[in-house]
C-alpha cells in the first residue's frame, strides 16, 4: 500500500563539510523567519497531497538538530492541525552527534520523534577532520549509545567510504565499530566530489585526487560482505537494516509514494506532478510573506513516471514488477522493457522471477549503467 510523507528541510549548519552539496547556510540570521515561513507553507500546501493522513515525517537538511525543541514542536503541531498523523507514523530527525544531549533526546521523544538518523560519517578523527565535520569520533560513539539509552530503538547511522586516504583496514574498522554498536540501520554512501564544494575546488587545484575504481569497488564489496555477515538486510543500494526496520520515509520515495517537501529546495510528488521550492532562503521567506510563487511545478508524462519507477524500483530489493509496468504505464512501456531485458537474460546483473525484475549484487555495482539502458528515452 502506498504511504504519504512530509519532508521538512532545515537549511542551517554550524560548519561547512567539505564534500557537501546540499542546500544549507552557516548564517543563522534568518532562522526565526525561515521557521515561520515553513510553518506557513505547511498550511499553504495543504491541498497538494490527495490525502489527510500522513505516514512519515522526516526532518532533513542541513542540520535539523540545530533547532530547539520548541521549534520542532511548533512544526509538528502545525502538521497536526492540517493532517491526521497516523498512530504508527515514522517521525525521523537527522542529527549531528555533537547536538545530542540527554535532555534534547528525551524531549524529542516526548514530541513523538521515534527515529534518529545520526550523521556519523566515520569513527576516525583524522577522516572527520579531513571532511571538516564538527564532531569527533568520541562524540560519534557517545551520541549513538546515549540515543539507545534514552530509548531510541530505531536509529540510522550514515557512513562515508571511498575517501582517498581511507585504507581497507580503516573502512573495515568503521564497519566493525558500527556493527558493535548494534544500530539497526546503516546508510553508507561513496564520497562524490561535486564541483560546487570545497573538495570540488581542491580537485580543480590538483590538491585532491579521487579514489580509483578498483578501490571503490573493494570498499563497496567490503560493505556488502560485512553487513551480510552481521545479518543486515541489504534492501537498497546504499541501505541496510535489521528486523525489517526499513526507512519508511525513503522507502515511500522508492515505491512511488506521494510526499510533500516543505522548506527551501524541498521537492514534492503527488503522482501527477513534481514541484520544487526555490533554494534561496530569503526568496523563499519573502515569497511566502508576500503570497507570491516560491516553487516550480512540472506535470509528469507517462514516460517520466515510468522512468522514475525503473530508477527507484531497481535500486531496492522489491525490484520492478512487469505487471505494474503493463497496467500502470501501458503496453508500449511493457514491450520496451521486455525487449531491453533480452540482452540481460544470460547476464549475472539482473534476476527475473515471477514477472519481477531485480538487480543482483553484481548488478548493483553498475546499477546506473543498467538502469539507464532500460529507461525509455
Q: Binding residues for ligand SF4, how many (CB under 6 A)?
A: 11
**Exposed, middle or buried: residue 293 (CB in 10 Å: 0-12, 13-18, 19+)?**
exposed
**Any long-range contacts for 265-274 (C-beta under 8 Å, 24+ apart)?**
265/9, 265/11, 265/22, 265/23, 266/7, 266/8, 266/9, 267/7, 268/45, 268/48, 268/295, 270/48, 270/49, 270/50, 271/50, 272/299, 272/300, 273/297, 273/298, 273/299, 273/300, 274/298, 274/300
Q: Is 314 in the site for ligand SF4 (CB under 6 A)?
A: no
Q: For ligand SF4, give the closer residue by CB, 17 or 108.
A: 17
- The residue among 22 and 358 lying less far from ligand SF4, judged by its C-beta, is 22
Q: What separation in angstroms does the CA of 260 have from each of 23, 133, 214, 263?
A: 17, 29, 39, 10
| CB of residue 95 to ligand SF4, shortest distance in Å | 10
Task: Return the range that interacts with ligand SF4 (CB under 6 A); candidates 13-21, 141-149, 188-196, 200-208.
Answer: 13-21
Beta bridge partners of 241: 185, 233
State the Cα–Cα distance between residues 192 and 173, nearest whole angstrom.
21
Q: How far apart are CA 41 and CA 38, in angstroms?
A: 5
Q: Which is nearer to ligand SF4, 104 or 376 (CB)?
A: 104
Pick from 336, 338, 368, 364: nearest CA to 349: 364
Residue carrying C-alpha cell 546508510: 187
Stretch that binds ligand SF4, among 10-18, 334-342, 347-355, 359-367 (CB under 6 A): 10-18
Residue 197 as a binder of ligand SF4 (CB under 6 A): the answer is no
Site track for ligand SF4 across 54-93, x = CB under 6 A? -------xxx------------------------------
Q: Which is nearer to ligand SF4, 159 or 374 (CB)?
A: 159
Choose between 101 and 153: whose C-beta lies nearer to ligand SF4: 101
Q: Is 254 in the site for ligand SF4 (CB under 6 A)?
A: no
Is residue 24 a contact point for ligand SF4 (CB under 6 A)?
A: yes
Residue from 20, 85, 322, 370 touching ligand SF4 (CB under 6 A): that is 20
In a 13 Å sphere around the CA of 311, the CA atoms on its Cβ side amount to 12
What are the two backbone dihedrals, phi and then psi, of residue 276, each rounded to the nearest 5 degrees? -140, 135
The smaller minimum CB distance to ligand SF4, of residues 198 and 300, is found at 198
Please identify, using beta-carbon distances, which residue of 22 and 104 lies nearer to ligand SF4. Answer: 22
The reply to whether 22 sits near ligand SF4 by the rule CB under 6 A is yes
Residue among 17 and 370 whose Cβ is closer to ligand SF4: 17
- Here the cell at position 365 is 555495482
Footprint (CB under 6 A) of ligand SF4, residues 102-131: 119
Residue 138 burial class via C-beta count within 10 angstroms: exposed 0-12, middle 13-18, buried 19 and up: exposed
Interface residue list for ligand SF4 (CB under 6 A): 13, 16-17, 20, 22, 24, 61-63, 96, 119
Amino acid at each position: 500500500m502506498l504511504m504519504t510523507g512530509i519532508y521538512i528541510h532545515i537549511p542551517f549548519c554550524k560548519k561547512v563539510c567539505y564534500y557537501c552539496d546540499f542546500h544549507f547556510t552557516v548564517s543563522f540570521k534568518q532562522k526565526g523567519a525561515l521557521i515561520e515561513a515553513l510553518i506557513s507553507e505547511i498550511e499553504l500546501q495543504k491541498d497538494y497531497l490527495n490525502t489527510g493522513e500522513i505516514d512519515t515525517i522526516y526532518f532533513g537538511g542541513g542540520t535539523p538538530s540545530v533547532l530547539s525543541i520548541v521549534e520542532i514542536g511548533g512544526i509538528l503541531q502545525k502538521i497536526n492541525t492540517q493532517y491526521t498523523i497516523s498512530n504508527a507514523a515514522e517521525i525521523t530527525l537527522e542529527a549531528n552527534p555533537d547536538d545530542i544531549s540527554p535532555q534534547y533526546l528525551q524531549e524529542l521523544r516526548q514530541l513523538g520523534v521515534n527515529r534518529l538518523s545520526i550523521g556519523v560519517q566515520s569513527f576516525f578523527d583524522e577522516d572527520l577532520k579531513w571532511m571538516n565535520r564538527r564532531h569527533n569520533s568520541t562524540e560519534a560513539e557517545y551520541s549513538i549509545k546515549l540515543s539507545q539509552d534514552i530509548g531510541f530503538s530505531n536509529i540510522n547511522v550514515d557512513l562515508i567510504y571511498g575517501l582517498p586516504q581511507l585504507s581497507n583496514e580503516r573502512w573495515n574498522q568503521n564497519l566493525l565499530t558500527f556493527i558493535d554498536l548494534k544500530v539497526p540501520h546503516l546508510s553508507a554512501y561513496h564520497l562524490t566530489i561535486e564541483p560546487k564544494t570545497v573538495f570540488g575546488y581542491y580537485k580543480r587545484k590538483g590538491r585532491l585526487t579521487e579514489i580509483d575504481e578498483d578501490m571503490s569497488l573493494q570498499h563497496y564489496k567490503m560493505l556488502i560482505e560485512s553487513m551480510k555477515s552481521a545479518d543486515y538486510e541489504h534492501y537498497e543500494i546504499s541501505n541496510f537494516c535489521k528486523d525489517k526496520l526499513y526507512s519508511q520515509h525513503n522507502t515511500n520515495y522508492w515505491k512511488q509514494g506521494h510526499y510533500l517537501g516543505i522548506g527551501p529546495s524541498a521537492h514534492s510528488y503527488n503522482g501527477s506532478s513534481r514541484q520544487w521550492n526555490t533554494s534561496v532562503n530569503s526568496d523563499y521567506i519573502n515569497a511566502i510573506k508576500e503570497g507570491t510563487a516560491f516553487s516550480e511545478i512540472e506535470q509528469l508524462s507517462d514516460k517520466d513516471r515510468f522512468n522514475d519507477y525503473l530508477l527507484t524500483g531497481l535500486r531496492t530489493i522489491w525490484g520492478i514488477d512487469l505487471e505494474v509496468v503493463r497496467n500502470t504505464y501501458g503496453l508500449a512501456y511493457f514491450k520496451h522493457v521486455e525487449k531491453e531485458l533480452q540482452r540481460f537474460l544470460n547476464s549475472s546483473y539482473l534476476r527475473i522471477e515471477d514477472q519481477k525484475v531485480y538487480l543482483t549484487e553484481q548488478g548493483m555495482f553498475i546499477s546506473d549503467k543498467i538502469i539507464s539502458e532500460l529507461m525509455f528515452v
